[in-house]
Structure 1
Amino acid sequence: MEKLKKKLGFWQAYATATGLVVSGSTMVTLASSMGLVGPAFIVSAFIAMIISIIIALSYAELASIIPGSGMVGDYTSVAMGKFMSIIAVLGGYFVLSVMVGAAETMTAGFAAQSLFPNINVTVVSLLLLTIFLVINVLGVEIFGSIQVVLTLGLMITLSVMGLFGLFDVFTATAQLPVDFTLNGWGTVFQSIALGIWLFIGIEFVAPMVEEVKNPSKNIPRAMIFGLLSIFVADMLFGLAIIRYIDPSILVGSSIPQIDGAGAMLGEKGATWMMIVTLFAAASSINSMFAAVPRMFYGMARDGLLPKQFSYLHPRFRTPMVSIIAVFLLFALPLFLLKMTPEMFNILILSACITWIISYMIAQLDVIILRKRYANIERPFKSPFYPYTQIIGILACVYLIITIHPETAVKMQIYGLAGSFFIGICIYAFLWLKFKKQPLFQPVALSEKRIMMDLEEDKEDYIPTRKAE
C-alpha cells in the first residue's frame, strides 16, 4: 500500500488543530467562567494561551521526529517505556472519552432543548452518538470535506456576535455595569485551568504530520495561529455577553452561552447561538470519534490494549470495536450522572487534570529525547529548549494545584481524576506484567521507526480524517 500523500495545506492543518478545540463544552466553559471571574477572565485565558503555545511547540518537535498516528503514545514509548506510554494515552484520551464525550453530547442536548423545551436531552444525546457511531464505522467522511468552512464559520460567528455586543449593534437591551474582577484577583489566577479548557486538544493535528505539506512549518503555525484566533474569538464573545446578563445566571446555567447571547441579541441571538453550539458539539464529537478509536487501535496493535481493539471491519476497514468502545464510553455517564452545571464543570476539570498530566509527559519526552538522541535530525525544534519545557511542566503543576477556586469542588475533581488515574496505573502494570513486557524500558527510536514504516506499508485501514 502506498504511504499517505502530503496533500493537506496550512488551512486544512489549521482546521484539524482547531476542530476539536472549538466545541460546545468550551462555549459553556467560556460563558460560565466569565460569570465566575468577570471580564478579568481575559487574563486567565491569556496566560492559558501562552502555556498552550509552549505545549504545542513540544508536540510539533515530537511529531517531526516520530511522525505517526500514535502521537504521545509513540513519543513516550521511545522516551520512557510502555508503562508511561499507556499512562500518557489513556490518561489523556480514555478519560476524555468518558467525561468530555458525555459533557459534549449533553451540551448539544441542552442546546436543542432550549429551542424545543419538551425534548428529552438524553434521547437527543444518544441519537447524536448513534449517528456518529454509524458514520465512523462506515468510514463516511461527512464533516471532513467542509471542516475548514465549518471551523472558520464558528470562529467568525463568535467574533461577529462579540463585536455586535461590544459596540451595541443589533442588541436587545442596554449594557449593564460590571466589575472587572467579580471575586478578586485570587479567583483570576485560580481560573487559569478553566482558561486551558478553551485551548486543550490543539495537539490533535500532530498525528497528521505525514499528510501535511511542509509539516515542520505548517503544523506549528497551524497550532499557534489556532490558539491565537481561538483566544480572540472567545474573548470577543465572552467580554460582550458579560455586559448584558447577571453573572450569577451564567454560573448557574447549563446553557450559559445561549442565555448570554439571548440577553445580548434577543431571541434571534439565542437561536443563532443554539445552532452554533449544535454545530460545534457535532464537529467535536465527530473529531473524537475519528481520533480516539485510532489511538486505541494503535495501542492494541502495539500490544498495549487487548487485541480485539485492533479488529477492522472486513468491508469498511474501520476499527469497529474501538469505535463501539468509544460510543459506550460516551454513553455510559449519560445514565450514571445527572448533568447539572456543577457536574459539567467537575467532569470537564477532572478530564483537564489527566490531560494536563499527559501534557507534562510530552514535555518530559522532549527533554529525554534531546539528551538521548542529541544528533538526530529534527525538522522542527522547540525554541529556547529546555526553558520552554521546564516552564510548561511547572505551569501544568500550577494548573493542577489551582484547578478550581472552591476547595469543596476541587476535592471532588481530585477524587474523580485520581480514581481514573489510579485505575489506569493499575491496568498498565497488570497488563504489561501479563504480557511479560518491560515497564520502563524505552523502545529504540530506530525500532519504532521501522515498526511504523512496516505498519504503514501493511495497513489497509486509513482512519477517518477530519480535514481530508
Structure 2
Amino acid sequence: MSEHMGYATAADAASGEKEKSGFKRILGLGSLLAVAVGLVVSQGVMVLMLQGAGIAGLGFIIPLAIGYVLALTYVYSFSELSLMIPRAGSLSSYTEVAIGHFPAILAVFSGYVVVAMFALSAELLLVDFIIEKIYPGVFPPMSVGFGLLALFTVLNLLGIDLFAKLQSALAFIMVVVLLLLGLSAVFGAVEPHPAGIDLTASWNPLGGEVITLVALAIWGYVGAEFVCPLVEESRNPERNIPRSMILGVTIIFATIAIYCLGALFYIPADDLAGSALPHYDFAKAVFGDAGLTFLAVAAVTATCSTVNTSLAAIPRMLYGMAQNGQAFPQLKKLMPGTQTPWVAVLFVAAITGLPMIVMGDDPDAIGLLLIAAAIAWLLAYIITHIDVMILRKRYPDLPRPYKTPFYPLPQIIGIAGMIYAIFYASPAPELSGQIFGAAGVVLAIVSVIGIAWVKLVMKKPLFKPEPIEKVLKAE
C-alpha cells in the first residue's frame, strides 16, 4: 500500500513540473520511443556495426547480444533515477545528490557535451562524405553537414511540438529503411546472393576473442537515455520513460542484427571490415546503382534524426544544470512562446560545428571521434550505476515509481561491462595512444573547469552530496 502511495506522490510531483519549469507535457510513448531509437541508429552506427560484422562474421551476434544486455542495465538505472528525480538536468540532478557537484558536472559534460562535440561532428562529416561519394561535385565541401546543423538548430528553437512530429517521422523512416535493406539482402529479393560467400564456413573467425568486440557493439546502443532530459515534457512519464527505452534498445538490437546479417550475404567479411563506408558498398551490392539513392535517404535521415534528438535533449540537460547552479545562468533562459532553452540550443550547435571546422574533410578523423566519444559516454554510464547504488542506500524509503529488477545485479554487471568496453575501446593497438590521448585531454580539461566552477563559483565542496529534498523542490 505504501509503495502505491509513493508511486502516486512521485507522479503528482512530476505533473506539477509545468508550473515550475514552464515546459509543456506533450510527449507520449510514440515520441519518446522515436527519441530512444532516433539518436542511437546513426550513420556512425551503420558503419561501425558493419565493420564489426566483417571482423567476426556471424559471430558478431555474440558481442551484439552482450551489448544489448549492457544497454538494458543502463536503461534500468536511468529509469529508476529519472522517475525518482524527474528533472530536465537528468544525470547532473541524479549525481549531485548521490556523489556531489563535481562528479555531476563531469558526468554531463564528459558523457554528453563532449560527446556532442565528437559524435555529432563525426555524424555530420560522415553525411558529407557519403553524399559526395553518391553525388560527386554537386554540393560544396561540408555544405550538407553545416546545412543540416543550421536547419535543425532553427527547428529546435521553434519548440518541442515541432521536434516531436519531426522525430517520430525521422525515426520511423530510418528503421524502415534499414530493415528493408537488411531483409532484402537476407532473402535476395532484388539481386541474387553472389557466389563464393559461405556464411557458415567461418562463422566466428576470432574464436574466443570475439568478446573483445563488445566495446564496438555497445556503441550501437548508447543514447536511448536521451528521453530522460525530456521527463518534464512527457505525458505519464512513470510508464512511458522506462517503456520507451526498453522498446527502443530491443528494436535496435533486432534492426542491427538483420542489417549486419544481410550485409554478410553480399560483401566478403574482409571487405566489410576494411571499408571506410561499408554501408555504401552494402546498398550498391543489394540494389545496384538505384541503391545509392536509397542509401542517400537512409544516411540523411539517420543524421537528421541524431542531430534533432541531440539538439533537443542536451540543451535541456544544460538547462537543468543551470537551474542547479552548475553552469552559466544564461543556459536556463527560455524563449517566450516556445519555452525552448534557446541559449543552450545555440551553445550545443556551436560546439558541434567547431570540430567540423578543425577536422575539415578528413575521413580518418571519424573513427577517432566516435571511439573517443564512446569512452566519455561509457564513463557517464558508470557514474549512473553508482548513483543508483548510493541513493538506494542513502534513501531506501524514497518513492521510486520504477525499481531496477534484480537490484543490484544490473548495476554490478553494467559497471563491469562498461569498464571492460573502455579497456578494449581501441580497434587497433596503434590507435590506442591517439584515442585515449584525445579522450584524456578533453576529460582533463572538463575536470579542471568543473573543479574551478564548484570551488570558485558555487563555493561548495567537490564531493558533498546535496540533500535530495533540495533538488526535488528546486524551482
The reply to whether TM is greater than 0.5 is yes
1:148 to 151, 158, 168: 168
Q: AA paired with 2:121?
A: A
1:43 aligns to what? 62
Kept in 1, the 8 Å contact 2:38–2:309? The answer is: yes
1:57 aligns to what? 76
Shift of 1:339: 5.1
Partner-residue secondary structure (3-state), 2:464: coil
For residues 169 and 334 of structure 2, what CA distance do their matches in structure 1 show? Answer: 31
Task: From the superposition, tell whether residues 286 and 7 of structure 1 become closer, same or farther in structure 2 (CA, over 3 Å).
Answer: closer
- Percent same amino acid at aligned positions? 35
Partner-residue secondary structure (3-state), 2:405: coil
1:204 to 219, 223, 226: 226
Partner-residue secondary structure (3-state), 1:20: helix
Shift of 1:190: 1.3
Partner-residue secondary structure (3-state), 2:96: helix
Shift of 1:211: 4.2
Task: From the superposition, tell whether residues 31 and 230 of structure 1 become closer, same or farther in structure 2 (CA, over 3 Å).
Answer: same
Q: AA paired with 1:450?
A: K
For residues 399 and 198 of structure 2, what CA distance do their matches in structure 1 show? Answer: 56
2:51 aligns to what? 32
For residues 98 and 445 of structure 2, what CA distance do their matches in structure 1 show? Answer: 23
Q: Is 2:159 the partner of 1:177?
A: no
Shift of 1:182: 6.6
Shift of 1:449: 0.7
Kept in 2, the 8 Å contact 1:102–1:330? The answer is: yes
For residues 10 and 319 of structure 1, what CA distance do their matches in structure 2 show? Answer: 23
Q: Is 2:159 the partner of 1:136?
A: no
Q: Is 2:444 the partner of 1:444?
A: no
Partner-residue secondary structure (3-state), 1:243: helix
Q: AA paired with 2:298?
A: V
2:108 aligns to what? 89
1:159 aligns to what? 179
2:351 to 329, 339, 352: 329
Kept in 1, the 8 Å contact 2:86–2:232? The answer is: yes
Kept in 2, the 8 Å contact 1:162–1:238? The answer is: yes
Q: AA paired with 1:441?
A: K
- Which piece of structure 1 moves more, 367-376 or 36-45? 36-45
For residues 135 and 344 of structure 2, what CA distance do their matches in structure 1 show? Answer: 33
For residues 180 and 270 of structure 1, what CA distance do their matches in structure 2 show? Answer: 30
1:168 aligns to what? 188
Give deviations 1:287-308, integer Å, cap 9, x for gaps: 1111112222222232222233
For residues 80 and 344 of structure 1, what CA distance do their matches in structure 2 show? Answer: 34
Q: AA paired with 1:437?
A: K
2:8 aligns to what? none
- In structure 1, runs of 5+ residues without a counterpart are 455-468
Partner-residue secondary structure (3-state), 1:242: helix
Task: From the superposition, tell whether residues 183 and 423 of structure 1 become closer, same or farther in structure 2 (CA, over 3 Å).
Answer: farther
Q: AA paired with 2:282?
A: G
Matches within 5 A, 1:68-467: 68-118=87-137, 119-139=139-159, 142-171=162-191, 174=194, 176-178=197-199, 180-181=202-203, 183-313=205-335, 317-337=339-359, 340-435=362-457, 436-451=459-474, 454=475
Kept in 1, the 8 Å contact 2:372–2:438? The answer is: yes
- Which piece of structure 1 moves more, 167-176 or 416-425? 167-176
For residues 358 and 24 of structure 2, what CA distance do their matches in structure 1 show? Answer: 43
Task: From the superposition, tell whether residues 11 and 448 of structure 1 become closer, same or farther in structure 2 (CA, over 3 Å).
Answer: same
- Which piece of structure 1 moves more, 209-218 or 258-267? 209-218
Kept in 1, the 8 Å contact 2:60–2:204? The answer is: no
For residues 216 and 142 of structure 1, what CA distance do their matches in structure 2 show? Answer: 23
Shift of 1:7: 4.7
Kept in 1, the 8 Å contact 2:160–2:340? The answer is: no
For residues 47 and 190 of structure 2, what CA distance do their matches in structure 1 show? Answer: 23
Partner-residue secondary structure (3-state), 2:33: helix
Kept in 2, the 8 Å contact 1:28–1:257? The answer is: yes
Kept in 2, the 8 Å contact 1:114–1:274? The answer is: no
Task: From the superposition, tell whether residues 331 and 273 of structure 1 become closer, same or farther in structure 2 (CA, over 3 Å).
Answer: same
Task: From the superposition, tell whether residues 129 and 33 of structure 1 become closer, same or farther in structure 2 (CA, over 3 Å).
Answer: same
Shift of 1:392: 0.8
- Which piece of structure 1 moves more, 313-322 or 196-205? 313-322
Structure number with the higher helix fraction is 2
Q: AA paired with 2:177?
A: T
For residues 413 and 297 of structure 1, what CA distance do their matches in structure 2 show? Answer: 30
Shift of 1:204: 1.0
TM-score computed with the length of structure 2 as normaliser: 0.89
Task: From the superposition, tell whether residues 289 and 211 of structure 1 become closer, same or farther in structure 2 (CA, over 3 Å).
Answer: closer
TM-score computed with the length of structure 1 as normaliser: 0.90
For residues 172 and 158 of structure 1, what CA distance do their matches in structure 2 show? Answer: 19
- Which piece of structure 1 moves more, 74-83 or 432-441? 432-441
For residues 330 and 25 of structure 2, what CA distance do their matches in structure 1 show? Answer: 31
Shift of 1:342: 4.0
Task: From the superposition, tell whether residues 350 and 304 of structure 1 become closer, same or farther in structure 2 (CA, over 3 Å).
Answer: same
